[in-house]
Amino acid sequence: MLDEHCTDEALIAYTRALLAEYPWPPAGESSRTAAALLDRLRRRRQFAPLAELADRVARRAPQDARVRRLQAQALIETGQPSAAIDVIQAALRKVEARSGEWAELHGLLGRACKQIFIDARKALDAADLAALQNAVRAYRKPWEADPANTWHAINLVAVAACAERMQLRRAPRLDYRALARSILATPPTADPWDAATRAEAHLALGELDEVEEQIRRFLAHDAIDAFAVASTLRQFEQVWELGRCGERSRVLLDAMRARLLGLPGGRCDLSVRELLQSQQAGAAPNARLEAILGVDGTRSYRWWQAGLRSASSVASIRAGLDERIGTGFLVAPAEFGVAAEGALLLTNFHVVNAQGSAGALRAEDAAIVFEAVEAAPHYGVKRIVWSSPVDRHDAALIELDGPPPAGLEALTIARRLPVRPEDGPSRVYLIGHTGGGGLEFSFQDNELLDHEGPRDNLFGAAPCRLHYRAPTEKGNSGSPVFNAADWKVIALHHAGGILSRLNGKPDTYPANEGIALLSIISAMRAG
């Protein structure tokens, strides 16, 4: 069995190896190992492999409600709440009423129904309103069976308060404020969820000072993981809509995002509006932040703010005004030894090049937009200063047809790459525009798997590759890859998939690949 503190990569590789061994001998070691692995995958927020593994385990143990619950959890987290409801309802028929698993399954049923309601909130129809009622019913049963089920109770509070805010005619008949007070009357525990639950209860009562205190307690807890923070953040964002409640509340959301991104498996997606709000909230003075977040929370928050500032210099690259093809970022002309009147943007060759080869946009067809800048102009390509094809650096350095928007700065380039994994684990961060319809900035925490950086830091003209593990999506091509310490750019993201390992190591693995900025600069300077 894997060490508890193994890397995400090792955990996923182990899961894949186990899946490849299927079918497992009945009641053998592999079955037991797989069943034990499910909780660990959940805690690390590895929901895609969790869904796959839970399905295999469930084939051999169809009566095991815990496995079905984890499968349903993975389905919800991967955007399939209605499929999750089917799995939960089947499992509920097999568990003893009022048992612990029964309560957990009802909670998850409530969570799936709540998600359906929240997803449709802007254009609710009868089915979505029924989902709200179903969520209330699902949360209410375990709470009525045992008032110690505070997880269910607080969700009941949250859903009822949300319905009241939306002035829904079919709002649940429930005195959620009284319920919140009853939750707060229970003795505190050392569990991190206790602080998150109390924060929500205080929020229901409009007690923002107490909300801050409990969030500070929650975020400082030694035992929290990415799953706990992401779940709490989602609840505060989506159900409580804390982002609409003023600057003080937005600081809390950003503190949670900062903590989440600092944990293994962390990822935050922000809309342009959220990004702008967060940047404005970031101007709060340190003393006030420390009062809300504590000293460590404030440092983590400032680090997150630096990431948000970097996001402003990241642009989406579009085919005309429509589809987003990729990402690019501002770089300083002096770093590349270039004299340019317009701003310089670095992206992939396979996103933009002169001929439109390798599936890229032709230079004249590309529109570049700094999404995080209000009323920023759409730039065109004045010229391609330098490029290197896909099988080399996969890079295109573009001069835009105008100066950069006011206040935007070129991203700072790191003078060294992080150490390789054999010298200790490192994390890297991507900021990009993921695929799909919404204008979202995706901040992703990634484990650095390996790189080809020279030990003497003397980069040549050959491409120097970095591998990191992350669920990057279409649209991230051309994203900057940052070091973890201070948001300096170390690489240009360009590909992902099942890749051969670097440095002559045998075998392949799922990975993403970037090209070291220092090797791009060297190649360019070498002509």
Partner 1 sequence: MPHVTFIHGLANKPEADKLYEIWLRALAKGDDPLDLRSAGVTSRLVYWADVLYEQPDPDVAAHESTAERRPQEVDAAGDPPPPVPADAREKAFLDAMRARFTTLSDAEIAAAVAAENAPGGQAPESAAAGGTPLERIPLPWWLKKRILAAQLRDAHHYLFNVEHSPRAGVRYRVQDEIRRRFVSALKAVDSDRHVVVSHSMGTLIAYDCLKRVADCPSVDALVTLGSPLGLDEVQDCLEPEWTRSDGYPASRLQGPWVDFFDPLDVVCGADPKLANDFRSAGQARVRDAQVANAGWWRHSLVKYFGQPELRRTLRELLEI
Binding residues for partner 1, rule: CB under 8 A, are: 222, 296, 299, 302, 414-419, 423-427, 453, 455-457, 483-486
Q: At what angle do helices 29-43 and 226-234 cross, to 10 degrees?
A: 50
How far apart CA 437 and CA 432 sit, in angstroms, is 14
Question: CB of residue 120 vs partner 1: minimum separation in angstroms?
Answer: 42
SS3 275: helix
Nearer to partner 1, 24 or 482 (CB): 482
Nearer to partner 1, 34 or 518 (CB): 518
DSSP one-letter string for 395-436: EEEEEESSPPPTT--PPPBPSSPPPPGGG---EEEEEEE-SS
CA 322 to chain centre: 25
Question: CB of residue 2 vs partner 1: minimum separation in angstroms?
Answer: 16
How far apart CA 171 and CA 176 sit, in angstroms, is 11
Question: CB of residue 220 vs partner 1: minimum separation in angstroms?
Answer: 13
How far apart CA 85 and CA 175 sit, in angstroms, is 27
Nearer to partner 1, 243 or 266 (CB): 266
Determine contact, residues 410/314, Cβ cutoff 8 Å: no
Radius of gyration of the chain (CA): 24
CA 311 to chain centre: 15
SS3 29: helix
| Amino acid at site 484 | A
Nearer to partner 1, 93 or 455 (CB): 455
Question: CB of residue 424 vs partner 1: minimum separation in angstroms?
Answer: 5
How far apart CA 478 and CA 467 sit, in angstroms, is 15
Question: CB of residue 305 vs partner 1: minimum separation in angstroms?
Answer: 13
Nearer to partner 1, 421 or 510 (CB): 421
CA trace torsion 103, 108, 114, 116 (10° rounding): -140
Selection from 313, 306, 327 nearest residue 432 by Cα:
327
Nearer to partner 1, 123 or 283 (CB): 283
Question: CB of residue 282 vs partner 1: minimum separation in angstroms?
Answer: 15
DSSP state of 501: P
Question: CB of residue 458 vs partner 1: minimum separation in angstroms?
Answer: 10
Question: CB of residue 493 vs partner 1: minimum separation in angstroms?
Answer: 17
